[in-house]
Amino acid sequence: FVSLPLFCGGERRWTPGLSMSTYTVRAQRWISGSGKLRHFDVCHNPAASTMLSTAEDGSLKLWNFEKRRVEATVKAHTDEALRVALLDGSEAVVTGGADGFAKVWALEDKDGGGQTLGAEKLKLEVGGQVYAVGSWTSSTIFTASENQVGFFDLETGEAFGALQFPKLGDLRHGGVRNE
């Protein structure tokens, strides 16, 4: 059992926020305040002192570091939400799910400061569980799924390239859901 500080917020006191327990072949992560819900990925937004997480219930959560609580939640995917990445410019995030889709979500400024999650801006059919998402320019999204890396235009959602790889076997994230 390993307990790591997740929310340090500049304080000298370190509060364990992320616990990871590894047994058999899967790792499970819990974030304080989430009950038994497993979180599969986290992404820090240093510009806004927030963190984004994806969870087994398909949700995307926006966490406030200073208040140490969830500021916004959206149902991002019909199955597990597996990956999250902040897009260049910090005005949007991309998520990838076990439902075979990558989705782009707006990050909006709130009145009085802070950020919240906005509407879904784009939905990309990837064709299999999404194992990685990200961007390297302000106009391109990449996704990694079963046996390929796909490249998409952020404005149109059109695929403009893919790298194919031989399938090595049946690999799945998530495992058995917590009840």
Which band of pLDDT confidence, cut at 50, 70 and 90, is reported for residue 20?
A: very low
Q: Which carries the bigger pLDDT value, residue 11 or residue 135?
A: 135
115-152 pLDDT, tens digit per residue, is 889 899 999 998 889 999 988 777 888 899 888 899 99
Domains of the chain and any CATH numbers: 39-164 (2.130.10.10)
Helix, strand, or coil here: 126?
Answer: coil
Q: What is the pLDDT of residue 137?
A: 79
Q: Which two tokens stand for residue 162?
A: 């893919």
Q: Which carries the bigger pLDDT value, residue 90 or residue 41?
A: 41
155-179 pLDDT, tens digit per residue, is 889 999 998 887 665 555 555 554 4
